[in-house]
Amino acid sequence: MLVEDKGIPMKVGLFVPCYVDMFHPETGIATLELLERFGLSVEYPVDQTCCGQPMTNTGCEREAAKTEELFVRNFGKYDYIVTPSGSCTNQVRNNMTAIEQTEAVKHVRSRTYELVEFLHDVLKVDAFPWAEFPHRVALHNNCNTLRNLRIASMSERREEPFSKPKALLGMVKGIEFADLTRPDECCGFGGTFSVFEEGVSAKMGQDKVTDQLKSGAEYVTSSDSSCMMHQEGCARRMGVNLKYIHIAQILNGARA
């Protein structure tokens, strides 16, 4: 696969967010394998850590600077940086401002894509012949992905309905969508909010899980693991038996 404007083979750097690295390596593996299925040369720089979001999210920009520098050092050489996380993409693209905006920084910021938008907008994928997921699935859009990256239309606005994740999932054999009553409602993760404002965060998570349960979904999927980690944590504690699976796994052909 070539870089459109340069006509040279595309080199993709894979960014695996810290919580995916730690708790959901299978999401990282699925993302890597999925990108490779499209003939891309994908590398994972092993010295990566984080995008700086926890600090920036808390207002501590200065504390984020060194982590941001490290990110740019790790990813500066790639044509595209792809990550299975919308909130990290939003951090890099829209909020990575703690460091001097050099050419390298600007390159990294403009070339970082969340997996779904990369598949949908850059690769323009039109089939996942290997994928089959005969289950009832509720889709959760992370708020950053929804309202900042604009991965789907939002209920607050009067706009033509669209959804990039749904468009991709729609190409998966056997999948059935479950409708939530409040599909756009934040689940309460909110980065460091989940730790600092634990009470409201957990209540929002419980309400989200209840909505998912009522929808008759068997699985919940999202292009963001962080929200799902929070939702799954709430679901387990509530004794609810919903299964959470990253969209990369479904698109990569996971069966269950």
Tell me which residues in 58-97 interact with other proteins (CB under 8 A): 58-67, 69-70, 95
Part in contact with other proteins (CB under 8 A); list of ranges 103-111, 112-120, 156-164, 245-253: 156-164
Part in contact with other proteins (CB under 8 A); list of ranges 5-13, 17-25, 116-124, 127-135: 17-25
* Residue 53 main-chain phi, psi, to 5 deg: -60, -45
Q: Which residues within the stretch 136-155 sit at the binding site for other proteins (CB under 8 A)?
A: 143-144, 146-148, 154-155
46 interacts with other proteins by CB under 8 A: yes
Binder to other proteins among 173, 203, 214, 255 (CB under 8 A)?
203
Kindly give the pairing relationship between strand 219-222 and strand 243-246: parallel
212 interacts with other proteins by CB under 8 A: no
- Residues facing 170 on adjacent strands: none
Question: What's the min distance (Å) between Cβ of 146 and other proteins?
Answer: 8
**Would you give the distance in Å from CA 129 to the centre of its chain?**
22
205 interacts with other proteins by CB under 8 A: yes
Q: Which of 230, 200, 102 is nearest to 222 (CA)?
A: 230
250 interacts with other proteins by CB under 8 A: no
Encoded one letter per residue, x for contact with other proteins by CB under 8 A and - for no contact, window 99-138 reads ----------------------------------------
184 interacts with other proteins by CB under 8 A: yes
| Other residues' Cβ atoms within 10 Å of the Cβ of residue 103 | 8
DSSP labels for 3-20?
A: -TTT-SB-EEEE---HHH
Part in contact with other proteins (CB under 8 A); list of ranges 3-11, 104-112, 126-134, 199-207: 199-207
DSSP labels for 45-109?
A: -TT----SHHHHHTT-HHHHHHHHHHHHHHHTT-SEEEES-HHHHHIIIII--SS---HHHHHHH
Pull the structure tokens for residue 183: 């599909």
